[in-house]
Amino acid sequence: MFRPSRRHFNSKRHNQCDDKCFSTFQRIHLHHHREFHKYHQYFRYFRPAFVLFNILILYLLFNWVGFKGIGIFFAVVISIKEIIYFIFMLRLEKRIFTPIEKLKLGVDEISKGNYNVKVECDVPNDLGLLIYSFNEMAQKLYESERIQNEYEENRKTLVANISHDLKTPITAIQGYIEALLDENIKFQGDKDKYLKTIHHNTVYINKLIDDLFLFSKLDMQKLDFAFESVEIGTFMDDFMEEYKFDLEEKNIQFQYISDLKQEYRVNLDGKRFHQAFNNIISNAVQHGPENDLSIRIKMYLQKDYICLAIEDNGYGIAEDKLPHIFERFYRIDIERKKEYMCTGLGLAIARELIEAHCGEITVSSKEKQGTCFTIKLPILQEYRDESTT
Amino acid sequence: MKRVLIIEDDMDIAELERDYLQFNGYKAEIAQDGVLGLKKAMTGMYDIIVVDLMLPQKDGFEIIREIRKKLEIPIIVVSARNDAIDKIRGLDFGADDYLTKPFSPAELVARVKSHMKR
């Protein structure tokens, strides 16, 4: 009969008891349980047999030694019984009472709201399984609370940022309207400028609200996507044609190169991808020089990904600012924020949209030389074997 | 003519403040970031400073602290930050007044006049 030793159990339990170890332990324990019950059914015959045996011993002792022998017999039996009882109670305390007490302390901590608890108790029985499950539950609760706190902090920061970013254009609108209504002030020459400023700020607020709405939907994963399998080469050819016209009208040099040797398919929501791409290009236009700006887009294959490198010859981004540019409301060039409708959310939205496509976006830059954003999109599974050949 | 330094990164608001102050007989100049603003302020050529708290490169609190080490000119904070803690902090650092956005430009002029009289 297989009897799992405590050594076997301990070595499994003390190695952090991952799922594989835990299921092994469960199998061993269940086997032991079945074996125990298999032989336990015979215990019901054991007690009456034991009583009859004791009566026989008493009778034989009485015949051989008399009452004195019976007294000694009872003394020995009672002593043995007490020792066994003592050992039994020790084991019971170690294997049942102490773990229950520790579990109770753990439950009390959870009820107080402290989820960062772990009950340290290795017992090779059902109680040990219960403690393991309890520890798992506590850990999940703790993680959930931590994520919730993080969301709450992010939400507070977002609300503070939104509040600030909305108050600024509202101040301008309110102030300029007050100036136009103020009879004491003669802004005859500047009236048009004031009206343009008011208009510009209302357009900016509208853009900010649109960006915030989109960003919050992305953040809560409530934005609907219409993914479809598209041939990326054909898609990009058409897409880049649109940009070519738009950018050349603004006197921006534009070049698109595809290094793909064959057609590949990716999962794409055309509208959302367009949005993300547009945000990156707008960013390049907003932060680039007014004259002689050039944007170069190159598409190439990298293992199981289609890569799109969007390179410009702008002013570049300082190294200390580079890690932050995908953060919401982060702006490098404060001066141009409203002039070019720069809400500080464009790149944050672009990153969320690309990541929703199971892709990634990275950036590299050198000051005074330019910046390169690289979008990576995974090729559809059935086309991956072809890509590696 | 009294000179006012406006340290504000948002040009629309900075120009509005400048226009209102100039109409009311002040000579106003604009600095769009914290570093330039502090540099101008420390020249001692201004009679009053109007400063935003959220500025690029150096925030308003730092600017107030630096100015107070050397100059005793009135400082008015103009900010979208409406929390009591920000107002207390600004005044603790040495600002003489705190105006929250959105504000009335006429009110700003009235406060500037009031501090200039003292």
The confidence score (pLDDT) of residue A374 equals 94
pLDDT of residue A236: 92
A104-125 pLDDT tens trace: 999 999 999 889 888 887 777 8
Give percent of chain B with pLDDT exceeding 70. 100
Residue A114, SS3 per DSSP: coil
| More confident of the two residues A331 and A99 | A99
pLDDT at A212: 83
What pLDDT is stored for residue A28 in this prediction? 72
CA-to-CA distance for A310 and A304, rounded, in angstroms? Answer: 19
- Cβ(A231)–Cβ(A265) below 8 Å: yes
**pLDDT range class, residue A9, cuts 50, 70, 90:** very low
The beta-carbon neighbor of B101 closest among A171, A200, A201 is A171
Model pLDDT, residue A187: 55
pLDDT confidence of residue A17: 52
A144 or A66: which leads in pLDDT: A144
What's the token pair of residue A377?
């999109």
Q: Which residue of A has its CA nearest to B54?
A: A164
Q: What is the average per-residue pLDDT within A301-325?
A: 87
**Percent of chain A topping pLDDT 90:** 25
CB contact under 8 A, A175 and B16: yes
Kindly state the tokens that stand for A196: 């343009």
pLDDT of residue A307: 94
Residues ≥6 apart with Cβ < 8 Å to A294: A252, A253, A254, A255, A312, A313
Is A185 an interface residue toward B (CB < 8 Å)? yes
pLDDT at A331: 64
CB atoms inside a 10 Å sphere around CB A267? 17
Q: Do A168 and B11 touch (CB under 8 A)?
A: no
Residue A250 has pLDDT above 70, yes or no: yes
Q: What is the mean pLDDT of chain B?
A: 90
Greater confidence (A247 vs B27) lies with B27
Structure confidence at residue A4 as a pLDDT band (50, 70, 90): very low
**Yes or no, beta carbons of B10 and A201 under 8 Å apart:** no
Q: Are strands A253-258 and A294-302 parallel, antiparallel or unpaired?
A: parallel
Cα–Cα dist A332/A335, whole Å: 9
Chain B positions touching A164 (Cβ under 8 A) are 54, 80-81
Q: Is A197 exposed, middle or buried (0-12, 13-18, 19+ CB in 10 A)?
A: buried
Q: Evaluate whether A176 touches B16 at the Cβ level (below 8 Å).
A: yes
- Of the listed ranges A22-36, A157-171, B96-110, the least confidently predicted one is A22-36
pLDDT exceeds 60 at position A13: no
- Using a CB–CB cutoff of 8 Å, tell me whether A178 touches chain B: yes
pTM of the entire predicted model: 0.62
Q: Do A168 and B13 touch (CB under 8 A)?
A: yes
Instruction: Report pLDDT digits (tens) over A337-385.
Output: 555 566 778 888 899 899 999 999 999 998 888 899 999 999 987 666 5
Task: Tell me the ipTM for this assembly.
Answer: 0.88
Tens-place pLDDT, residues A364-377: 998 888 899 999 99
Q: Rounded to an integer, what distance in angstroms lies between the CA atom of residue A197 and that of residue A199? A: 5
Q: Residue B54: list chain A partners with CB under 8 A.
A: 164
The mean pLDDT value of chain A amounts to 81
Residue ranges with strand state E in A198-293: 228-231, 253-258, 265-268
Residue type, A146: R
